[in-house]
Chains A and B, each alone.
Chain A
Amino acid sequence: MFGNKTKESPVSKDMMTKQRRYEALVKALHADIFRYAVWLIRDRAIAEDVVQETFLRAWKSLDSLQDEGAAKSWLITILRRENARRFERKQFDLVDIDDVSVADPVAPSDGNIENRDLRRAIASLSEEYREPIVMQVLMGFSGDEIAEQLNLNKNTVMTRLFRARSQIKDILTKDNEAGVKVNG
């Protein structure tokens, strides 16, 4: 009666393959996705929650990911959508990070002053400049990929990248000047 059940059923085999694909995806990309989330959200705890939601959703629709090479931008798309849902869900108890004085919301201090200043400068950019530059530098996306991800044309993206860098440079220069004044 149970004779024909000794073979592994195709369903559980599929499940196993899915589990392995999922684990491979998590291991290969969780670090970059987490970093991206922190830069987008500017709060490590909230970013971690959103990353959890992102990977749960990724698990549910893993079958729709055909090309593993596209996994990174696929996950970023999910992450950005999950982050947007966060705003829909609880509009009232969100606190704008700009209003709160947090020592360093994006990373614990590593004693490197240059890192600290740069992190502050990046975090202080408005979202429209911050997202493209993080996509370019951290995620290694090309101008075309960023344009597709943000639903903008490429010229706009290149302009925003240019402005993002010049703003960072301005902030650092001002910091330096202020530093000289204080020290001098």
Chain B
Amino acid sequence: MDDITFRRTIYADPFTKDPEVIEAAKNDPKKQAFWDDIKQMEASLEQAMNIPVPEDLAEKLILNQSINRFQKHKKRQPWYLALAASVVLASVLSIGLINSSSGNLTNDVFAHMDHVAYEINKYGKTDIASVNNKLASYNGQVKEGMGDIVSANYCYLNSIKSLHLIIKGEQGLTSLFVVPSQLSKSVEQEFNNNVYTGSAFLLKSAKIIIVGENASQVALLKEKAKQLMSFSV
């Protein structure tokens, strides 16, 4: 393979699997050196493209979507349609409330447990200050000593904005959900399915739900949460 073709191929795709390119590099140290050089530039290029992302972007995108859904009704239609729409909306909501009061949050909590893996991977480390920052919207705070909080993100439990903390313990990960108690639907104090064990209790204005695969870790976290977390009404 001639030099120009070799360089062109590498420049177009530094990680090419083209057997001719690989063979050519094997037989010519200069070509190999050039390839190594480009691979190195590629790593820098990747790093440079990985620009920082605004911290609250994901939350904004999720919130924006729910706000927009309701605003759409308001904007375009004349007032009487808007009135009709709000009557419909109100009845839909009240039917929803009648429905929802019969169910509980347990299934939603279990469903959210499936998200644990990517929440950790996508968001990276958090710290106590950032956790407290987020807890502030629930009038709450936490002291040091809960363990290694690997993730703190808002999520929706049956359309109630909740805070989902993931805490790493000796026996793996445990989740702690903070839900405003006045909005929260009923949850049994102790619940489980064949994978997870859960426990729920009230801390003044907040309902705390703890879920994990390891029952003793759930119990331990429950005690810690009672001691270290505080909420004002």
Contact = CB atoms under 8 A, between A and B. Distances in A.
Interface stretch (A15-23, A81-89, A95-103, A175-183): A15-23
Contacts of B60: 52
Interface stretch (B37-45, B196-204, B225-233): B37-45
Nearest to A55: B61
A137 B98 CA distance: 51
B46 A138 contact: yes
A34 B57 CA distance: 9
Secondary structure type dominating chain A contacts: helix
B49 interface: yes
Interface string A7-33: 111001000100110111011101100
B78 interface: no
Chain B, interface SS category: helix
Contacts of B45: 118, 122, 133, 137, 168
A52 B57 CA distance: 9
Interface string B90-127: 00000110110011000000010001001100100000
A52 B64 contact: yes
Nearest to A168: B45
Contact of A27 (B13, B42, B118): B118
Given A23-B155, A23-B156, A106-B51, A12 B99 contact: yes
Contact of A26 (B38, B53, B62): B62
Given A6-B99, A9-B99, A23 B48 contact: no
Nearest to B69: A59
A8 B49 contact: no
Contact of B119 (A19, A27, A133): A27
Interface residues of A, number: 51
Closest 4 CB pairs of A and B: A118-B48, A107-B51, A162-B11, A158-B12
Interface of B: 8, 11-14, 38, 41-42, 44-54, 57-58, 60-62, 64-65, 68, 95-96, 98-99, 102-103, 111, 115, 118-119, 122, 153, 155-156, 158-159
Given A27-B115, A34-B57, A138-B49, 13 more contacts: A5-B98, A5-B99, A26-B61, A35-B51, A35-B53, A38-B51, A48-B57, A52-B60, A118-B48, A119-B51, A122-B49, A133-B45, A166-B11
27 contacts: A5-B98, A6-B98, A9-B99, A20-B111, A22-B62, A23-B62, A23-B156, A24-B115, A26-B61, A27-B122, A28-B118, A31-B122, A34-B57, A35-B49, A35-B53, A39-B49, A51-B61, A52-B60, A52-B61, A108-B52, A114-B44, A114-B48, A118-B44, A119-B51, A122-B48, A122-B49, A166-B11
